[in-house]
């Protein structure tokens, strides 16, 4: 049985191969059923999952992800105090017919990723910048040790 390819596998054209498996797609031993199943898995319309780097600095949590080929207006970044969801769509130009391709490995279509944050963030002060296909989201951490003095007013 074939598993659905990850976003990275679809993006790079890679395949998951078990260490004890010898895989050759042009092998004469491949049955017609196996070849048909591979085509069905590859042709399924599914949502891709973004790969991300998440790290912290002294005051921020930083999320980086590659969104090359995606227009900023096609990105949706939803933030709560403890979670970030990135959604988008990479549109394919339909100027070449399918039978004219020799290799077709790039991922086109919708994608999303939800990241649970290790600590709460200030959603009002969050920033998202896309530069050269790299989306960088900067989320200021909530400083739970910060104190403020309130002045009591005479009512």
DSSP string, 62-92: EEEEE-TT--GGGEEEEE-SSEEEEEEEEPP
Closest CA to 90 of 104, 103, 114, 73: 73
The pTM is what? Answer: 0.62
Domains of the chain: 1-45 (no CATH), 47-142 (2.60.40.790)
Helices (H), 7-154: 7-12, 32-43
Task: State residue 32's pLDDT score.
Answer: 55
Summary count for the chain: helices (H), strands (E): 2, 8
Helix (H/G/I), strand (E/B), else coil: 34: helix
Closest CA to 51 of 6, 95, 91: 6
Residue 96, pLDDT > 70, answer: yes
**Taking all residues of the chain, what is their mean pLDDT, rounded to a whole number?**
78
Residue pair 85/77 in contact by the 8 Å Cβ criterion = yes
The phi, psi pair for 61, rounded to 5°, reads -110, 130
Task: State residue 41's pLDDT score.
Answer: 46
Residue 113 host element (H or E):
strand 109-116
Per-residue pLDDT tens over the stretch 2-48: 566 666 666 565 655 555 555 444 444 445 555 455 444 444 457 78
Separation CA 36–CA 25 (nearest Å): 12
């Amino acid at each position: 049985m074939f598993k659905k390819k990850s976003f990275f596998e679809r993006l790079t054209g890679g395949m998951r191969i078990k260490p004890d498996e010898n895989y050759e797609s042009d092998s004469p031993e491949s049955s017609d059923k196996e070849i048909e199943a591979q085509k069905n898995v590859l042709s399924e319309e599914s949502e891709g999952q973004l790969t991300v780097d998440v790290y912290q600095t002294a005051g921020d949590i930083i999320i980086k992800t590659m969104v090359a080929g995606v227009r900023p207006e096609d990105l949706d970044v939803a933030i709560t105090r403890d979670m970030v969801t990135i959604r988008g769509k990479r549109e394919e130009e339909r100027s070449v017919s399918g039978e004219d391709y020799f290799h077709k490995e790039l991922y086109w279509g919708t994608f999303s990723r939800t990241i649970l944050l290790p600590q709460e963030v200030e959603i009002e002060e969050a920033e998202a910048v896309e530069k050269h296909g790299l989306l960088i989201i900067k989320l200021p951490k909530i400083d739970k040790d910060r104190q403020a003095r309130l002045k009591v007013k005479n009512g």
